Amino acid sequence: MTRNRTLKLYRHPLSGHAHRVQLFLSLLGLPVELVDVDLRAGAQRQPQFLALNRFGQVPVLDDDGTIVADSNAILVYLARKHGGEAWSPSDPVGAAAVQRWLSVAAGPLASGPAAARLVTVFGAKFDAAEVIARAHALLRVMDAELAGRDFLAGDRATIADVACYAYVAHAPEGNVSLAEYAAVRAWLARVEALRGFVPMQASAVGLARG
C-alpha cells in the first residue's frame, strides 16, 4: 500500500516569496500543510530551520523528505513535477520567456516593489524614495509589455505570472500606486480569476491604509 505523500510549506503569511509558492500549490490543486515561521522572532535563524535552508529564508518546501528552498526554484520544481507544459513550457522560446520573468522576480521586483513594502511592513532600512522609484521603473516596463498580451510570458498563465503577482498586487502597501498602470491592473485581475487563486494576507500600511 502506497502512503500519501505529504507537502509542507514553511512560510510567513506576509511574505510574497512564500505566497507565490502557496498560490501555485493551490492553482495545481495540491494539498499542503502550512508551517508558519516567525521571522520577527528570528525563527529562520534557529538551527532547526537552518537545517532546511542554510540561507535562513522562507519559503522552504518539504515534499515527503525532498527539501527545496528558494521560491522560484520551488515553482520550477512543482511545475516540472505536477504542472508540465501548461505552467513551464520546454520549447526554447517559451522556456526563455518564463526564465526572463523569473529573473525579473529575483531582481527588479525584489529591489523595487518588494523592497518598498519591506519598509512599511517590516521596518526595513531602505531608502524609501529610491526603492519606490525602482518600483515605478519596473511597473512602466511591465505595463508596456502587458499592453500586448494577457500574461507575462504569452497568452496563458505560467509560473512567470505566479512569481511576479504578489509583490505587484501588494505594491500599494509600500506606497507604490498602481493607478497609472491599466495593463498591469488588468493582468492582476486575470491572475486573480484563475481557478484555485488564493490571495496573500493584506497589510493596512502605505497607500493600502484604510
**22-39 confidence digits (pLDDT tens):** 999 999 999 999 999 988
Q: How far is CA 143 from CA 146, 148, 173, in A?
A: 5, 9, 19
Chain centre distance of CA 103 = 12
Three-class SS state of 10? strand
Q: How sure is the predictor about 85, in pLDDT bands with cuts at 50, 70 and 90?
A: confident
In CATH, what number does 85-208 get? 1.20.1050.10
Q: Taking the domain 7-84, which CATH number applies?
A: 3.40.30.10
Q: Where are the domains of the chain?
A: 7-84, 85-208
Contacts of 187 (CB under 8 A, 6+ apart): 142, 146, 150, 151, 152, 161
Res 1 pLDDT > 60: no
State mean pLDDT over 56-76: 96
pLDDT at 99 over 80: yes
| Residue 181 Cα to chain centre, angstroms | 19
Residue 34 three-state SS: strand
**Model pLDDT, residue 122:** 93
The H or E element containing residue 63 is strand 60-63
Q: Angle CA(150)–CA(166)–CA(205) in degrees, nearest 5?
A: 130
* Sheet with 33-36: strands ordered across: 33-36, 7-11, 60-63, 66-69
pLDDT at 52 over 50: yes
For residue 36, list its beta bridge partners: 11
Report residue 2's pLDDT band, with 50, 70 and 90 as the boundaries.
Answer: very low
pLDDT above 70 coverage of the chain, percent:
97
pLDDT tens-digit map of 100-115: 999 999 999 999 999 9
Q: Cα angle at 148 between 112 and 102, to 5 degrees?
A: 40
> What residues pair up with 154 in beta bridges, in sequence order?
151
pTM: 0.94
Strands 60-63 and 33-36: unpaired
Pull the grid cell for residue 87.
505552467
Amino acid at 99: Q
Q: How confident is the model at residue 83 (pLDDT cuts 50, 70, 90)?
A: confident
SS3 42: coil
